Amino acid sequence: MRRIRPGQRHLQQDSEGGAAAVEFALVIPVLLLVLCGIFDFGNIYLQMDIVNQAARQGARLAAVSTSSGETPQQITTALQSYYGSQLIVPPFTIPASGNNVTVKVQSNVTIMTPIISAFFPSNPYTVQGQCTMYVE
């Protein structure tokens, strides 16, 4: 290390500045991959939660439909209006009182990062939720 004398007014250059730039260039792709993975997996988890909530709500509406008189089509329309039109609700039937009703809900999630989408068999990725309740 060079010693700067009191009369000298020039800046001393750091000999490790280039090494830090090279290290940053090596680390930034891994950092971006982790960051994009967090965003994509967070989006998938959010959609899974929404689909499960929609299936639970649909099963509850179907379970009490004998008293309210709702049809499966009205329940499907209510779920799509509340949780979004991107939800896919396969047809289901409401059984007689004393039986179980099962409602399934699906949604497609687009994975935005090309590197992360390589880990999934299809893009958009389909998330599914299902709930079974006793018909009162």
Please give the Cα distance from 96 to 14 (Å, whole number): 80
In eight-state DSSP terms, residue 88 is B
Say what the pLDDT of residue 70 is: 86
Look at residue 96 and tell me whether its pLDDT is greater than 90. Answer: no
**Polymer length in residues for the chain:** 136
| Closest CA relative to residue 117, chosen from 41, 5, 19, 6 | 41
Record the pTM.
0.77
Percentage of residues in the chain having pLDDT higher than 70: 88
pLDDT digits (tens, 9 = 90+) for 43-60: 999 999 999 999 999 999
Measure CA of the first residue to CA of the last residue in the chain; give whole Å.
84
Per-residue three-class SS string for 91-127: CCCCCCCCCEEEEEEEEEECCCCHHHHCCCCCCCEEE
Domain map of the chain by residue range?
A: 17-134
More confident residue, 98 or 3: 98
Residue 129's DSSP bridge partners are 105
Percentage of residues in the chain having pLDDT higher than 90: 58
More confident residue, 8 or 109: 109
- Given a contact cutoff of 8 angstroms between Cβ atoms, the answer to whether 131 and 103 are in contact is yes
